[in-house]
């Protein structure tokens, strides 16, 4: 299992791990450990909030750092999938052409435009959250983890990085794979399916409780947005591509995180 953990962090993060030759038996639990990258990102976001409080960091630089930290930890592999998928979807061609564009290593105009829009939406969500949870411009460090309190909302939203990857891993095991296989199909085939699903469901419960207990009503809307994003992912991937691959899984992680953060920020304006 430790080898599966190392493979998961080697594939989906920039966190240094021991390197070794991968064998099929080492991949049985990769999808169970992949969401832990999101857990590390979420904990890193909370630590960044605490550090920003101690340094009295202004809101805009803090919002930018909150966007940058997940990219630094993950290596932006999910954003690469988001851009490739955006190019394919915005081509508005037949399925075979979309799949060809999806696998094309070149970056098109729609990939760049979609990526910029995604970051701007994410920045807007971060700024609204940081501004709305405390109008005075200051916050108390312990309040970040105060269950149900408005000041705890950013801590609750940090859980979306874990949740998005849990749902992405579940899709790898439960959605139809795209023709042509790929790394995701290899992980799905090598997985100890029953045990991995059990571990993912356990993580799903824990992540949902994290978001719901800390976030209160906005946390509930985060979970609703996450569920809606997952259903849309299932419908869209089947309709447009006939299944999923690694790029589509990354596309889902990217847009679902922004959708969940936006839902929390908009609800927080009226909470």
Residue 134, class by beta-carbon neighbours within 10 Å (0-12 exposed, 13-18 middle, 19+ buried)?
middle
Q: Identify the pLDDT of residue 116.
A: 96
Model pLDDT, residue 166: 97
Q: How many residues does the chain have?
A: 271
The pLDDT value recorded for residue 140 is 47
Q: Is the pLDDT of residue 27 over 90?
A: no
Q: Compute the mean pLDDT over every residue in the chain, rounded to the nearest whole number.
A: 86
- Residue-wise pLDDT for 99-130, tens only, equals 888 888 888 899 999 999 999 999 999 988 88
Read off the pLDDT of each residue in 147-159 and give the average, rounded to a whole number.
70
**Range from 9-18, 42-51, 181-190 carrying the lowest mean pLDDT:** 181-190
What's the pLDDT at 146? 57
**Residue 149 pLDDT:** 56
Q: In this predicted model, what pLDDT tens digit does every residue of 55-99 receive, in sequence order?
A: 888 888 999 999 999 999 999 989 999 999 999 999 888 888 888
What percent of the chain clears pLDDT 90, i.e. is strictly above it?
47
SS3 content of the chain, % helix, strand, coil (to 5): 75, 0, 20
pLDDT higher than 90, residue 269: no
Sketch the domain layout of the chain as residue ranges.
34-269
pTM of the full predicted structure? 0.90
- C-alpha distances out from residue 232 to 76, 227, 235, 238, 255, Å: 22, 9, 5, 10, 11
- Measured CA to CA, the distance from residue 50 to residue 71 in angstroms comes to 19
Contacts for 165 with CB less than 8 Å, ≥ 6 apart: 12, 34, 35, 37, 38, 253
* Angle (CA) 187 75 122, round 5°: 110
């Amino acid at each position: 299992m430790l080898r599966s953990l190392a493979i998961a962090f080697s594939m989906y993060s920039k966190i240094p791990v021991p390197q070794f030759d991968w064998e099929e038996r080492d991949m049985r639990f990769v999808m169970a450990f992949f969401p832990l990258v999101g857990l590390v990102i979420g904990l890193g976001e909370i630590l960044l909030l605490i550090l920003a409080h101690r340094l009295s960091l202004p809101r805009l630089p803090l919002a930018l750092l909150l966007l940058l930290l997940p990219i630094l930890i993950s290596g932006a592999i999910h954003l690469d999938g988001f851009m490739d998928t955006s190019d394919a979807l915005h081509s508005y061609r037949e399925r075979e052409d979309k799949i060809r564009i999806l696998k094309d290593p070149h970056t098109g105009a729609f990939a760049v435009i979609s990526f910029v829009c995604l970051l701007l939406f994410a920045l807007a969500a971060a700024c609204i959250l940081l501004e709305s949870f405390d109008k005075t411009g200051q916050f108390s460090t312990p309040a970040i983890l105060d269950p149900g309190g408005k000041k705890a909302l950013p801590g609750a939203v940090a859980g979306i990085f874990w949740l998005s990857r849990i749902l992405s891993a579940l899709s790898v095991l439960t959605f139809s794979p795209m023709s042509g296989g790929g790394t995701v199909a290899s992980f799905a085939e090598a997985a100890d399916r029953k045990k991995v699903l059990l571990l993912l469901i356990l993580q799903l419960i824990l992540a949902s409780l994290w978001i719901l207990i800390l976030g209160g009503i906005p946390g509930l809307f985060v979970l609703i947005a996450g569920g809606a994003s997952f259903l849309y992912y299932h419908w869209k991937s089947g309709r447009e591509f006939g299944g999923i691959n690694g790029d589509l899984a990354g596309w889902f992680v990217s847009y679902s995180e922004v959708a969940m953060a936006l839902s929390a920020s908009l609800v927080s304006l009226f909470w």
